[in-house]
């Protein structure tokens, strides 16, 4: 890699309202036992009616900026990864730029499902490596509760709301991003999607009545692809970085299902104690899971200077990504 990047500040924000598995038992034909055993989820956070994803992201960004101790005048651009933007346009990144009082630089969103944060980090890396930009604000997050069909037990138990952010800058020491790989398999797009609301199927009375503005997923198929793809992505990132699974201090996988995380870690020869898991509290927040987990691990002292972190994601697209970073 040409120039290396590092993260100098992290932040996250989760809505206060908690929806437990027991609450869901009253809404659909499910049980705390089924959800816990099949997914590892116990509860999730839900944004209230007046809260949009930019509100969560703005708070996460403020926390990251504070940790980085950087004036907002020095932020050269904002990259937002989400599939639940405030609206189709303007971009959520532009809304956040205004919320933060940032007057300079670019701002745009990218859509890569649950892989969004690593996609955005890879873009940030190449932007900074070009020498044109120095400090970038990278944010991932969702308000999936707003596109969840609350009468579909196959999906409604899985998702939650939350956002995480990072300030990314050029690294002049041996810390930072050692490798990063991203990819997509567009032929599997129909395994996980939101059918209506775009140019293929614009909003109509019928699309609303048929709940087509919500998440549709073939869970079993996605599960099978997830483990295989996350293992190969992680191996590619480890190899590019010149390290082994056993060298990793902390493994931060996408929080979609605890069984996916366990199987992936096992195949990568990473002991389960090294796997960062918070899915029990927040469920799957898609592009939010990685930056939220990173921020919590940093603030709870689970990541120390010099530690090797392995990130690994998988999501709608289908998309995937993995990265190795020295803290
Ligand atoms: O963020 C990236 C994308 N998302 C993922 O990575 C998710 C990947 N998939 C998964 O995590 C799992 O496939 C699920 C958690 C979605 C489902 O777990 P599973 O072990 O694959 O269950 P299944 O879909 O094979 O369903 C098993 C049974 C079915 O009943 P029958 O047909 O065996 O009678 C389902 O109808 O469980 C039933 N079921 C439920 N039962 C109680 C499905 N959802 C529920 C539920 N409560 N919420």
Please list the pLDDT of the chain residue by residue as tens digits (327 residues): 568 999 999 999 999 999 999 999 999 999 999 999 999 999 999 999 999 999 999 999 999 999 999 999 999 999 999 999 999 999 999 999 999 999 999 999 999 999 999 999 999 999 999 999 999 999 999 999 999 999 999 999 999 999 999 999 999 998 999 999 999 999 999 999 999 999 999 999 999 999 999 999 999 999 999 999 999 999 999 999 999 999 999 999 999 999 999 999 999 999 999 999 999 999 999 999 999 999 999 999 999 999 999 999 999 999 999 999 999
Residue 130: which residues within 8 A CB-CB, separation 6 or more?
Answer: none
Residue 314 near residue 256 (C-beta atoms within 8 A): yes
* Cβ 197 under 6 angstroms from ligand 1: no
Centre of ligand 1 from the C-alpha of residue 220, in Å: 7
Q: What is the pTM of this model?
A: 0.97
Domain spanning 5-173, CATH architecture: 3-Layer(aba) Sandwich (3.40)
First-to-last alpha carbon distance for the chain, in angstroms, is: 17
Same fold, 5-173 and 177-326: yes
* Other C-beta atoms lying within 10 Å of the C-beta of residue 34: 15
For the question of residue 284 being annotated catalytic, the response is yes
Q: State if residue 228 touches ligand 1 by the CB under 6 angstroms criterion.
A: no
pLDDT in tens, 178-207: 999 999 999 999 999 999 999 999 999 999
| Residue of 92, 106, 17 whose CA lies nearest to 58 | 92
pLDDT computed for residue 15 by the predictor: 98
pLDDT at residue 2 in the model: 65
**Helices marked H in 146-195:** 153-156
The Cα–Cα gap between 313 and 311 comes to: 7
> Distance of CA 319 to CAs 96, 181, 249, Å?
25, 11, 25
CATH of the domain spanning 177-326, picked from 3.40.50.300, 3.10.150.10, 3.40.47.10, 2.60.120.10: 3.40.47.10
- Has 254 been annotated as catalytic? yes
State residue 3's pLDDT score: 82
- Our answer on whether the CB atom of 192 is closer than 6 Å to any ligand 1 atom is yes
Q: Which of 149, 289, 153, 154 is nearest to 218 (CA)?
A: 154
To the query of whether residue 125 is one of the catalytic residues in this protein, the response is no
What pLDDT is stored for residue 123 in this prediction? 98
DSSP code of 43? Answer: E
Query: pLDDT tens, 65-120?
Result: 999 999 999 999 999 999 999 999 999 999 999 999 999 999 999 999 999 999 99
What pLDDT does 238 receive?
A: 98
Ligand 1 lined by 157 (C-beta under 6 Å): yes
Sole residue written with tokens 């990793």: 248
The H or E element that residue 2 is part of is: none
Domain residue ranges in the chain? 5-173, 177-326
Catalytic pick among 94, 114, 125, 278:
114
> Quick one: DSSP state of residue 3?
S
Taking the centre of ligand 1 as the mean of its atom positions, its distance from the CA of residue 155, in whole angstroms, is: 8
With the most atoms of ligand 1 within 8 angstroms of its CB, the residue from 154, 231, 282 to mutate is 154
The single residue of 135, 257, 278, 284 carrying the catalytic annotation is: 284
The ligand 1 atom nearest the CA atom of 114: 1
């Amino acid at each position: 890699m040409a120039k290396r990047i590092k993260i100098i500040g992290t932040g996250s924000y989760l809505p206060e309202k908690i929806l437990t598995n027991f609450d869901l038992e009253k809404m659909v034909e499910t049980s705390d036992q089924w959800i816990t055993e099949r997914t590892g989820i116990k509860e999730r956070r839900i944004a209230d009616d007046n809260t949009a994803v930019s509100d969560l992201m703005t708070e996460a960004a403020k926390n990251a900026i504070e940790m980085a101790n950087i004036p907002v005048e020095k932020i050269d651009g904002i990259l937002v990864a989400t599939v639940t933007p405030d609206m189709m346009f303007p971009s959520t990144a532009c809304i956040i730029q205004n919320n933060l009082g940032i007057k300079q630089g670019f701002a745009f969103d990218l859509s890569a499902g649950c892989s969004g944060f690593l996609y955005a980090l890879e873009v940030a890396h190449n932007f900074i490596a070009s020498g044109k930009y120095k400090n970038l604000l990278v944010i991932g997050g969702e308000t999936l509760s707003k596109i969840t069909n609350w009468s579909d037990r196959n999906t409604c138990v899985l998702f939650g709301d939350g956002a995480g952010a990072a300030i990314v800058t050029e690294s002049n020491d041996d810390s930072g991003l050692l490798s990063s790989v991203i990819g997509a398999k567009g032929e599997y797009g129909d395994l996980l999607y939101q059918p209506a609301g775009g140019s293929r199927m614009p909003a109509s009375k019928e699309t609303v009545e048929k709940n087509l503005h919500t998440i549709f997923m073939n869970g079993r198929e996605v599960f099978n692809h997830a483990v295989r793809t996350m293992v190969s992505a992680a191996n590619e990132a480890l190899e590019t970085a010149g390290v082994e699974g056993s060298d990793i201090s902390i493994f931060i996988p996408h929080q979609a299902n605890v069984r996916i995380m366990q199987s992936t870690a096992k195949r990568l020869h990473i002991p389960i104690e090294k796997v960062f898991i918070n899915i029990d509290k927040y469920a799957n927040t898609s592009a939010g899971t990685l930056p939220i987990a990173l921020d919590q691990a940093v603030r709870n002292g689970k990541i120390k200077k010099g530690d090797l972190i392995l990130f690994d994601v998988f999501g709608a697209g289908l998309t995937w990504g993995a990265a190795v970073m020295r803290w």
